[in-house]
Amino acid sequence: MVPELEQESQSIVEYSKLQPDTLPARRVLFTQSSSFIHHSSVAFRLSSQRASILMRSLVVGCTLIVMAITVPMAAAQKVDLSIDASKTGAKIDRNVFGQFAEHLGHGVYEGIWVGPDSRIPNTRGIRNDVVGALKAIKVPNVRWPGGCFADEYHWRKGIGPQRSVTLNPNWGGVTEANTFGTHEFMDFLDQIGAEAYVSVNVGSGTPQEAAEWLEYMTAAAPTTLAKERAANGHPAPYKVALLGIGNESWDCGGNMTPDYYLSQMKVYSRFVRNFNPEQQDKHQMLKIAVGPGGGEPRWTEWTEAVMKAYQQHTWSWDINGLSMHNYTVGHWPPSYTSVGFGETEYSQILKFTLEMDGLISKHSAIMDKYDPDKKVALVVDEWGAWYAPLPGSNPGFLVQQNSLRDAILAALNLNILARHADRVRGANIAQMINVLQAMIITDKEKMVLTPTYYVFKMYIPFQGATFVPVTFDGGWYTHGDVALPRVDAIAAKDANGKLWLGITNLDPNQPVEIEASLAGITAKSAAGETLTAPKVDSVNTFDTPNTVVPKPVSARVQGGKLALKLEPKSVTVVSVEP
């Protein structure tokens, strides 16, 4: 016991030698305890026995006081926000909160599908725990079956009683059992209450194969394909809300030039029809063309080409969206670790992730040139953190942990997407379960919800809400050569007139005191939740699932102002009752 205390005392002395100005705020606190060290030097002049007793009690006292003051941390930074709820912007499309489930690693098999004979509780082969968790975050749509996998997927192998076993050359070269096919996907969507975003095979398939798949899924008339669907257990036509015409056709989807892709895309757009009678007038299927994967000239040229063609399109083809992929990776191949990192990697990854804003602005500006009325949506249908594979995992399975850093990264991206709500009307985080920045991690019968999951849960009120501009200047959080805005915030009004505020404190060391002036709303009360954890790389594990979970936060409303304290490295969502 005593040696440990002495060690603690030693560290206090070392910190006390440092200059407060050069230290992060948390460490400055340690220097404030230096007066206790000074007192302890007086103790050495006393008799050795008394001195030793006194020394021990001083060390205990110092340690307790240091422990007490390290928890509340440094003095809070004050940040003023100003919100006028009468000045509304675009609606934040709920499809911005979409998910992506590719046949990759344990994303589908084990993550969703365990089969009806599994000991893991399931409904028709789909695991109940995962369904329960996903229902709770109100997933609007799921993009499936890929990703790169989509351009090698042949839907016929995944229907009927006899399923072909194929290969998955993109992702680990493993066998693909095809036991999770069209009917299982649609059943899964029904169970979680989400819509289908189906990506058809443009790379190695044909327009006919894709057209027949759509007829199989959506025809109500008694065609041979509709009857086959009925014989396979589903007489009623399925709905397909979104159709992806290829995936990364400039790369894993067939290495096409913009012109080559355009000629393919027009054919698919024309012939891959949705026949569902309920999707003819209202709720028409939205067709999403392949779009950019970065900001370099090859991507801006791609966007130019597709949007220019769109501007000149005739009655015979159309698109409703342009996809964009943007991963937070730092550098390829992914080398940042998903656990066991510190403030340097935390700040660098957040800096990279904020580049999403510039990328959207860049491609939106091109789209504006050809589509000033913003008829074509930008659909960021792959985004999220892509780190080095966890040691010991199959590198083709893209397995990574999910930490508090990912929660903050998710909130920052959702805020960016919301700020671009007039153009960005869809997005899909990659990926839903067990792959990349997942909501859920499973291992056999075990399941754990990640910090990212909780951000999606806290952000539910923003689904379909109307954007309300927020102005603020929180100053900068700096670490090494990285400078990041200390806070980020969005606001939106829901259908009941309630105002919602999502605020992130990026600074891992200092709390923030928010004072928000509220105009255009007579605020009565406020309540909310906050998500933080002891460390930037804190994670939830099967054994400790509650390390990073939301907790209630108190907010005060007085005289048209909202007062709220944000913990360091936290995501907070607050509702203001009119």
Which residues sit at the interface with ligand AHR, rule CB under 6 A? 102, 146-148, 247-248, 382, 430-431, 436
377 beta partners: 321
3-state DSSP assignment of residue 66: helix
How far is the CA of 231 from the CAs of 159, 234, 260, 388, in angstroms?
Answer: 11, 7, 38, 45
CA 498 to chain centre: 24
Q: Smallest gap, in angstroms, from Cβ of residue 365 to ligand AHR?
A: 24
Q: Smallest gap, in angstroms, from Cβ of residue 430 to ligand AHR?
A: 4
Q: Smallest gap, in angstroms, from Cβ of residue 392 to ligand AHR?
A: 20
Element spanning 289, H or E: strand 286-289
Q: Which of 152, 248, 345, 567 is catalytic?
A: 248
Cα separation, 243 vs 248, in Å, equals 14
Nearer Cβ to ligand AHR (269/400)? 400
How is residue 457 written in tokens? 């849960």
Cα separation, 376 vs 310, in Å, equals 9
Please compute Rg for the chain using Cα positions: 27
Contacts of 23 (CB under 8 A, 6+ apart): 15, 31
Nearer Cβ to ligand AHR (225/385)? 385
Are the CB atoms for 506 and 512 separated by under 8 Å? no
Q: Smallest gap, in angstroms, from Cβ of residue 160 to ligand AHR?
A: 26
388-404 burial, b for 16+ CB within 10 Å, e for fewer?
Answer: ebbeeeeebbbbbbbbb
How is residue 214 written in tokens? 């759509």
Q: Smallest gap, in angstroms, from Cβ of residue 130 to ligand AHR?
A: 19
Cα separation, 257 vs 305, in Å, equals 10
Nearer Cβ to ligand AHR (326/538)? 326
Nearest alpha-carbon partner for 288 in 110, 397, 430, 424: 424
Q: Which of 102, 110, 184, 382 is catalytic?
A: 382
For the chain, the distance separating the N- and C-terminal CA atoms, rounded to the nearest angstrom, is: 55
Nearer Cβ to ligand AHR (15/149)? 149
Q: Smallest gap, in angstroms, from Cβ of residue 437 to ligand AHR?
A: 10
Q: Smallest gap, in angstroms, from Cβ of residue 150 to ligand AHR?
A: 8
327-359 burial, b for 16+ CB within 10 Å, e for fewer?
Answer: bbbbeeebebbbeebebebbbbbbbbbbebbeb
Helices marked H in 163-321: 182-192, 207-218, 224-231, 258-271, 297-311
Q: Is 176 a catalytic residue?
A: no
Nearer Cβ to ligand AHR (248/507)? 248
CA 78 to chain centre: 28
Q: Is 382 a catalytic residue?
A: yes
Whose CB is nearest to ligand AHR? 147
Nearer Cβ to ligand AHR (396/578)? 396
Nearer Cβ to ligand AHR (203/485)? 203
Catalytic residues: 248, 382
